[in-house]
Chains A and B, each alone.
Chain A
Amino acid sequence: MADIASFNALQLDAIREVGNIGTGNAATALSGLLSRMIHMDVPKTELVSIYELGEHYGDPLQVVGAVFVRSTGGFGCSLIFIQNEEDADVMVELLLKQQFGTFIPINEIPEEMKDSALSEVGNIVLSSFLNAINLLIGTQHQISVPGVAHDMLSSILDVVASIYGQMGETALLVNTELSVDGLEAGRKISGHIILIPDPDALELLLKRLKVM
């Protein structure tokens, strides 16, 4: 298995570029879904100590809405779409307004419908991200049904620790941010896409990108 701590700048940059291509496709899909302009951030490839994951992405106790999918095939990986709980609520309002034409405030939307809408947003964002990557490196893939959770950031990120913790003490993550104008003027809502490649899939990825 590739030792992630020894990756050189070129290899990390290649992984970041993969994130960039995935993010572009995800932004296009989200834009189509919400009929709004989406701003995307330049993705970062990050090597993070598994002991510091909770703090790395913000306040570990902050409540977030998260959608998780697992992709299997040539390039096995997991993906999380994470938003502040308030931003997730606005995202749900935006989606439902777009679908039904009328605005329904979040506290009048039944819990199951909220989760269903959130998981749909996550599913579209994450599967577009994955489609672009797999097309680029020429691999087949299957995506799981999305799982949704609302909880403390550090509890959610335990899942990363359990993937990378078995192999060592560092996780390799590709982190990017999408943002969209909220319902109120001037208010922006955003979501993070975190790509968690399976440690044993990184070698294949780097070989396909011709940097290993």
Chain B
Amino acid sequence: MAEQTIVLGMADLMVVPAPVKLVTLGLGSCIGLVVYDSFAKVAGMAHIMLPDSRGLQGSEKVGKFADTAVPALIEEMLKKGATRPRIKAKLAGGAQMFALPGASAEFLTVGAKNVRETKMKLAKMGIALLASDTGGNKGRTIEFSTSNWMLKVKTLGKGISEI
């Protein structure tokens, strides 16, 4: 069966059966989180924008925040046949696009906070994080293929790596 390619936009969250290729384009401070169960042959991705949803309305997309995206992604995985001990995670993103020496602008370091919060949530839920490519000051385009369960990370000027 041919591999279907699905492109996820900002704050999207999706879990689908293999074979599939999950893609997110041009991640800056955002995070692309991949979870998969290679035995149940199911994979999911979330395009996370911000670390935490505290104090916000419940009407927003769950994929937007790390603290809501991680549990939602895992729950969706379990519904589609995955079991928690078999779920593995990989993540990329969380860059700081601009550095302004001497300026206090908290939103510029949101990438690092996204990474920290996502990792913490995964650890709390007992999900093994196998690989990550985070931080730095360059945007990333990512592709996860269920053909080899690898996450391809393309960075401008640095080429492609597979994690």
List of B residues within 8 angstroms of A69 by Cβ = 100
Do B107 and A155 touch (CB < 8 A)? no
**Interface hit among B24-32, B125-133, B144-152:** B24-32
Chain A at the B interface: SS class: mixed
Do A154 and B139 touch (CB < 8 A)? yes
B95 on interface, CB distance cutoff 8 Å:
yes
Q: A144-B105, A149-B137 are in contact. Are A70 and B100 (CB under 8 A)?
A: yes
Q: Considering only CB atoms, which chain A residue lies closest to B55 in the complex?
A: A166
Q: Considering only CB atoms, which chain B residue lies closest to A80 in the complex?
A: B98
The CA of A112 and the CA of B137, in the complex, are separated in Å by: 16
* Shortest distance between the CB of B63 and any CB in chain A (Å): 10
Do B28 and A159 touch (CB < 8 A)? yes
List of B residues within 8 angstroms of A50 by Cβ = 10, 49
A86 on interface, CB distance cutoff 8 Å:
no
List of A residues within 8 angstroms of B107 by Cβ = 159, 162-163, 166
Do B26 and A145 touch (CB < 8 A)? no
B2 on interface, CB distance cutoff 8 Å:
no
* Shortest distance between the CB of A102 and any CB in chain B (Å): 29
The CA of A165 and the CA of B30, in the complex, are separated in Å by: 11
List of A residues within 8 angstroms of B88 by Cβ = none
Do A149 and B98 touch (CB < 8 A)? yes
Name the contact of B141 in the complex, choosing from A53, A147, A152 (C-beta under 8 A): A152
Q: A51-B11, A53-B10, A144-B105 are in contact. Are A159 and B26 (CB under 8 A)?
A: no
Do A51 and B137 touch (CB < 8 A)? no
* Shortest distance between the CB of B51 and any CB in chain A (Å): 10
* Shortest distance between the CB of A10 and any CB in chain B (Å): 27
B103 on interface, CB distance cutoff 8 Å:
yes
Q: A150-B156, A159-B108, A166-B50 are in contact. Are A60 and B26 (CB under 8 A)?
A: yes
If A154-B139, A155-B139 are given as contacts, then 19 extra A-B residue pairs at C-beta distance below 8 Å, sorted by A number, are A54-B26, A61-B25, A68-B97, A68-B98, A68-B100, A144-B105, A147-B98, A149-B97, A151-B138, A151-B156, A152-B28, A154-B27, A155-B28, A155-B138, A158-B28, A158-B97, A162-B49, A162-B107, A166-B107
List 6 tightest A-B contacts by C-beta distance, closest first: A155-B139, A158-B28, A154-B26, A155-B28, A147-B98, A144-B103
